[in-house]
Amino acid sequence: MLESILFPLIFLVGVLAQSFVVLKNKMRFPFFIIAFISLLIFGIIGSLFSQKEFSFPNILWFSILSFAPILYLNYKKYFIPSINGKTLFVFTLVFWYVFLFMIEKASILKIVLLFAGLFFSLFMFIFLIRGERNNKIIEAILFVWYFIIIILISVLHVSNSIILAPFLGSSEIISQGASFIEFFIVGMFYMFIITNLFSIFLLVPTKRNNIDDIKEHVNLLSEKFVSSQISWVKVITIILVMGLTFITNRLFNLISDVVIIDAVILVIPWILTNFLLEKGDSIDSLNED
């Protein structure tokens, strides 16, 4: 029973950790208290109306899954992804890792992904070398590529047992050997992927999301795009770091492929953004009020 409560709490810590990384000093702690108490109530209602057993762990899961979208809607400006050349390069390498090692069966989808991957990878590579700035068409194409990778990774997570923990039950996932660190990483990634998927949904016209709303969202996306060149040294460094990370994990089977992808997506762009950007490339200034 204790483990079935600890695992959703560790997942929640991951969600909060990713929120702190993005929002830093822009959060107000009382908001978290009020939001989570209200979502606990929502969790109770959700648990009552679901087919799952009514229990505190299930209430926690419903509340945590609801917490991320609520947080995004209150801090949308800051959760909109900031994109630069190095981040795109990391995501592109992740795409090819998924394509080569995690999509095994030949299919029409794999052929489509192959041609899309080749086109966008070549386009991104030319952009990184030339470093063109303030070109809205190029920005739009690169955001399309970024969102394609986000959607692909989201679909990949549907088969991840940790992501399905709220629906399968924590005890069943624990019995499959999931660890605290995996729940923590996937909790962080859940917050990351939810906010990115919301950014995609806000580009779709609906009754509540008219053309003016979409234009406003596109402008916010454009503000978060940072054009920058990338040196060959950095290209080789990124390839070596990511390659060693993936190879080490496959050799020693430390954590699942899905979770190592989550860790790479969360950690490497953060390191590149905060420590390895050239002057003028910092994206932190874009998150100021």
What average pLDDT does this structure show over 112-133? 83
Q: How far are the Cα atoms of 24, 86, 117 from residue 273, in angstroms, in the given order? A: 15, 8, 24
What average pLDDT does this structure show over 29-55? 63
Residue 284 CA to residue 48 CA, distance in Å, equals 43
Whether residue 253 has pLDDT greater than 90: no
Q: What pLDDT is recorded for position 247?
A: 92
Q: What pLDDT is recorded for position 228?
A: 65
Which is higher by pLDDT, 262 or 133? Answer: 262
The model's pLDDT over 165-215, given as tens digits with 9 standing for 90+, comes to 555 454 555 445 567 787 888 888 888 888 888 888 888 888 888 888 888
92 closest CA partner among 45, 55, 42, 142: 142
Whether residue 274 has pLDDT greater than 90: no
Q: What pLDDT is recorded for position 52?
A: 55
